[in-house]
Structure 1
Amino acid sequence: MPYKPQITFDDKLKVWSGGERCNYFAPHLSIGEIIFREMERHPKLIAQISATEKTVLTMEEVRLSAMRVASYMRRLGLKQTDIVGLIARNTTHLVAVAYACFFNGMPFHSLNISYDQETIEKLFSITRPRLIFCDGDEYERVVAATETLKLDATIITMRNHPLSSLRIQDILTTPIEENFQPSHLEQGPDQTLAILCSSGTTGLPKAVTVTNSQNCIFPGFLVPTDTVQYTHSTLDCFSGLSAIINAGVFSTTNIIADNDFDPAFMCRMVQEYNIGLVFQCSSHMAMLANCPELDEADLSSIEHYIFGGSRCSLHIQNRLRSRLKGQLIFSYSITELNSTGTLNLHFDEKPNSVGRPVPGNKIKIVNEQGVAVGPNEVGEVCLFNGQHWSGYYGDPAETRTIRDSEKWFHTGDVGWVDEDGFLFVADRRKDMLKYQNIMYYPNEIETVISQMPNVAEVCVFGIWNAVNGDEAAASVVKRHGTKLHAQDVSDFVRKHIGAKYKQLNAGVIIVDDLKRSGNGKTNRRANKEHFLNVQRSK
């Protein structure tokens, strides 16, 4: 059930607080110890169902598999200072690999399956894993990367196994170590649980450490054990990590799928498995809203539909809201925070807000002079949870650019907090454009274009002009089964925005889909490059 936030505002410090966070478990227990004990308590409950592989695993089966993988790691002589690499979809036995790392107090470094060999090399050159689990689909890229880096790493495949590879099924035959128990953390709860990747929308993804803290447990709900949950996010982003942690901690049933996200398939899954809790990135939500099957889908089982990770047009939010009997909840955070930052549990009263700070978290808005400001004043969004963070792995200099000496994270997002403590995020500060030295944000134009009934998604960016500076351009995805022309979009903006500098002076293209970073977020830079390539080819 949802918590009841106790939001306070310190008028002197200009800080909004979500109140004290309550730990569900003894604070000295690691995530691995908690999951191990909870799975022992509920051995016969269904832990996981793969909708694509058609497998069903009980808590006992997952726990035994995780113990076998953990025992294999111990036989290899891996220690808590070693790192396990992951590049994998949500297949049947991936959860056993993740839990095995938790049981051994050993962090995994998870990369997105879309990364090319060069990106894999750069990221694994930072953490240098000794053991790597990957899908056969990425096997050749991983092998090539390890050879270039001269990594002495054992590689195990999770699906589509090449003939020469060691398979996860081979590892699952490992005898469980006698009197197996999860390892105590050598550094306590400050020890690193996992290493994820930043979104990569502004350059090479960074290796973001996640602390072994109960802050990773989703703070908004006490989740009943009969809950069926689903996310398509993989373990390289926080929502994917949070999903498997919550499934183990609360003994829920986790629905997984290893296909590319298919909104029609999701509609069928919701009905077939009676899914009640959904975690979804905004891009998948947009695809779902544009899916013709949505109108006939039975989504009545969904009690809480939680989305976030990037901006999402209000039109798309309202389309999903109209199809749900349960709550539509906008969430907001950054991977570096290692927890949910804010939740909007009042969508109908505060549409398009990302909500108020969850217990244990604080927010403030800082202006250009670095001074915290009050309600309805625009500035950079800053987040605080007070917990230990080990920073970007191997990059202390970059760590200092995002977290200041008082442990506030500077998100780079521009937004404001209203008089009721609800946060609204406008845009990325780095996305600011200047036309003839007049500042504007692409989101201002995106918001208008999103109001067009035939528009599913839009991305606006600046194209440099020697005279004017940043001229706005747009890549637009039309709604399924509708007609839309580039001129329609330009005319609509001209009709609804008076300012010349906010017109689509550089043009519009209609595309089948937007370019995205590895974790599904819209990649403004990649969409700009695609736009320029299309223009050059004309």
Structure 2
Amino acid sequence: MPYRPANFYDADLKVWSGGKLEYYFDPHLSIGEIIFEEMRRHPQLIAQISATENTILTRAELHANSMHVASFMRSEGLLQSDVVGIIARNTTHMSAVAYACFFNGIAFHSLNISYEQSTIEKLFKITKPRLIFCDGDEYEKVRAATAQLNVKIITMRNHPLDSIRIDEILATPIEENFRPARLEQGNDQTLAILCSSGTTGIPKAVTITNSRQILNCNHFLTTNDVQYTHSTLDWITGLLTTVTSGVFSTKRIIADNIFDPAFFMRLVEEHQITWVLQVPAQMAMMANSPAFGTSDLSSLRYYLFGGSRASVETQHLIRGRLSEDCLHFAYGFTELGSMASMNFHFDEKPNSVGRLVTGMKLKVICEQGESLGPDEVGELCLCNDQYWAGYYGNPEETHKMRDPQMWFHSGDLGFVDDDGFIFIVERKKDMLKYQNIMYYPNDIESVISEMPDVAEVCVFGVWNQINGDEATAAVVKKQGSSLTAQDVVDYVATHIEAKYKQLNGGAIIVEDLVRSPNGKTNRMATKAFFLEARNLN
């Protein structure tokens, strides 16, 4: 990979920096303006292939479709202050809806299809979209959730009789001499509104700025690249892939099914995918798939993953199937709107999330808010010097997330070593205490992950009125394994000396871990499943 982050450390301020952000396009152009011009430069190239709907679009066709949708929005009188709602899978015309919003300078608010009606109602009540694009599968749920809003609902597939079809929108005449709109607020304007992970309470509506930072680490992409991520537009990874495929004129493969590791590996072979962005759960599912040993993954040149940890064993397995050393751990969070760091040095720093990318600064602070030096553990705070509109309609949470000096408070505990490599220890909120001794679930997960028969593991604390948080493990075993819960408990007992880090709450073998809609392991929900299963027994 041509890009290699290099860090700089200010020992007086105790601040690390990834260097100055470079601009490969006119810094005054919006993301929409860049994509508009780039799509016109390569009209005959294939822009998108849907592996599940069996459709193919050239860049000229996708460009025209985007202008049709954008012209419809303009005919409806939508302003740049309005919001467009999205709650849909990666279907054929989803990219055209996103690009139409970019062309018009209108932010879209994208929700996950798995959200309950009450969550949809609360979230869309915040942003009040004028139009909502959804699949017919969710139409009734969305219509009921937005009954109090003045909104038109357009369906992308499986159309109910009384819905507006995307085909009707695509038939809208393109406005004469169509040009993308100049942003009224410049590149400080909101590009999109996504959702926070929402592991506790209602997800927050996270604004993503029309910043060039989202292109960072991907300037190496060319028209020869083929991109894929299974993420939909409600996650930063889905947004990033949609943006970069438009800006760098790559071919993008999409699919609207539930993630299937064997299906994904067939896509890599069939379409010679070169760039992929996954969550660790998908990597673990791949490594545990019967097709893993025979699949040809040699076309991959950029294999990025993030969102949570992948066990070192899983990383080794994936790397063993790649023709190049191209598996890289990326770290960031939705509020940043981009990656913060990447690890290109697995062999030297296998547990690190890497060094800061350009445009990023980092400091580590203690509980009192004072900056810490190398190898000292504290909360990671990041700054990208970009405007951020905050959580839409939620100034209180916005101020908690970003302080007046423009530092984002990640909620992640970690440290930076003498070489500038960042290490994540745990989420602050995941800290547990057994008999008043602090420990972190990852300390135990790392040990259990070393067991040959373990595919995935999630450790959480179960409250005991005498001991406090008793460590408990939910484990997914590898196919064909005869692993038992007692085997896991015994393994920890022989590999960890500390009594407070034993599986004092026991273990359970499960078919799969409970996940958030973006594929991350949901520790609280997995714990709830364990408690329910224990009560039933």
Q: TM-score if structure 2 supplies the norm length?
A: 0.98
- 1:158-197 to 2 correspondences below 5 Å: 158-197=156-195
- 1:113-192 to 2 correspondences below 5 Å: 113-147=113-147, 150-192=148-190
Q: Is the 8 A contact 1:2 1:220 kept in 2?
A: no
Q: Is the 8 A contact 1:463 1:506 kept in 2?
A: yes
Secondary structure of the residue aligned to 2:303 is: strand
Structure 1's unaligned 5+ residue stretches are none
Show CA shifts across 1:40-94 (max 9, x none).
1111111001111111111100000000000011111111111000011111100
Q: Within the alignment, does 1:46 sit opposite 2:38 as a pair?
A: no
Report the counterpart of residue 504 of structure 1 in structure 2.
503
Q: Is the 8 A contact 1:218 1:246 kept in 2?
A: no
Report the counterpart of residue 533 of structure 1 in structure 2.
532
- 1:219-234 to 2 correspondences below 5 Å: 219-234=217-232
Secondary structure of the residue aligned to 1:155 is: strand
Report the counterpart of residue 58 of structure 1 in structure 2.
58
Report the counterpart of residue 31 of structure 2 in structure 1.
31
Report the counterpart of residue 197 of structure 2 in structure 1.
199
Q: Is the 8 A contact 1:83 1:130 kept in 2?
A: yes
- 1:317-328 to 2 correspondences below 5 Å: 317-326=315-324, 327-328=326-327
Show CA shifts across 1:17-40 (max 9, x none).
111111111111111000000001
Show CA shifts across 1:168-197 (max 9, x none).
111111110111110110111100000000
Report the counterpart of residue 410 of structure 2 in structure 1.
411
Distance 1:441 1:220 in 2: 34
Q: Is the 8 A contact 2:216 2:358 kept in 1?
A: no
Amino acid at match of 2:206: V
Distance 1:123 1:7 in 2: 39
Q: Is the 8 A contact 1:331 1:354 kept in 2?
A: yes
Show CA shifts across 1:394-424 (max 9, x none).
0011011111111111101111111111111
Distance 1:251 1:201 in 2: 35
Secondary structure of the residue aligned to 1:306 is: strand
- 1:21-420 to 2 correspondences below 5 Å: 21-147=21-147, 150-326=148-324, 327-420=326-419
Show CA shifts across 1:458-506 (max 9, x none).
1111111111111111111111221211101100111111111111111
Report the counterpart of residue 455 of structure 1 in structure 2.
454
Deviation at 1:349, TM superposition (A): 2.0
Deviation at 1:519, TM superposition (A): 1.2
Count of aligned pairs between the two proteins: 536
Deviation at 1:221, TM superposition (A): 3.7
Q: Is the 8 A contact 2:432 2:440 kept in 1?
A: yes
Deviation at 1:350, TM superposition (A): 1.4
Deviation at 1:4, TM superposition (A): 3.2
Report the counterpart of residue 8 of structure 1 in structure 2.
8
Structure 2's unaligned 5+ residue stretches are none
4+ runs deviating over 4 angstroms = none
Deviation at 1:292, TM superposition (A): 1.6
Distance 1:511 1:116 in 2: 25
Secondary structure of the residue aligned to 1:295 is: coil
Q: Is the 8 A contact 1:218 1:242 kept in 2?
A: no
Q: Within the alignment, does 1:445 sit opposite 2:444 as a pair?
A: yes
Amino acid at match of 2:518: N
Q: Is the 8 A contact 1:86 1:133 kept in 2?
A: yes
Deviation at 1:220, TM superposition (A): 4.5
Distance 2:430 2:451 in 1: 23
Deviation at 1:369, TM superposition (A): 2.4
Q: Is the 8 A contact 1:516 1:523 kept in 2?
A: yes
Distance 2:6 2:301 in 1: 23
| Mean Cα deviation higher: 340-349 or 60-69 | 340-349
Amino acid at match of 2:527: K
Q: Is the 8 A contact 1:354 1:424 kept in 2?
A: yes
Q: Is the 8 A contact 1:87 1:134 kept in 2?
A: yes
Secondary structure of the residue aligned to 2:146 is: helix
Show CA shifts across 1:147-186 (max 9, x none).
1xx0111001111212221111111111101111101101
Q: Is the 8 A contact 1:378 1:415 kept in 2?
A: yes
Amino acid at match of 1:163: L
Show CA shifts across 1:88-137 (max 9, x none).
11111000000000000000000011111111111111101110001111
Amino acid at match of 1:244: T
Q: Is the 8 A contact 2:6 2:355 kept in 1?
A: no
Distance 1:58 1:256 in 2: 14
Q: Is the 8 A contact 1:304 1:328 kept in 2?
A: yes
Q: Is the 8 A contact 2:70 2:103 kept in 1?
A: yes
Distance 1:480 1:164 in 2: 46
Q: Is the 8 A contact 2:209 2:387 kept in 1?
A: yes
Distance 2:522 2:66 in 1: 36
Distance 1:128 1:450 in 2: 45
Deviation at 1:243, TM superposition (A): 0.3
Deviation at 1:209, TM superposition (A): 0.1
Show CA shifts across 1:250-291 (max 9, x none).
000001001000000011000100001111112212211211
Q: Is the 8 A contact 1:65 1:96 kept in 2?
A: yes
Amino acid at match of 1:470: D
Amino acid at match of 2:67: M
Amino acid at match of 2:47: A
Amino acid at match of 2:349: K
Distance 2:199 2:469 in 1: 19
| Mean Cα deviation higher: 280-289 or 81-90 | 280-289
Q: TM-score if structure 1 supplies the norm length?
A: 0.98
Superposition RMSD in Å:
1.0
Amino acid at match of 2:328: I
Distance 2:355 2:309 in 1: 16
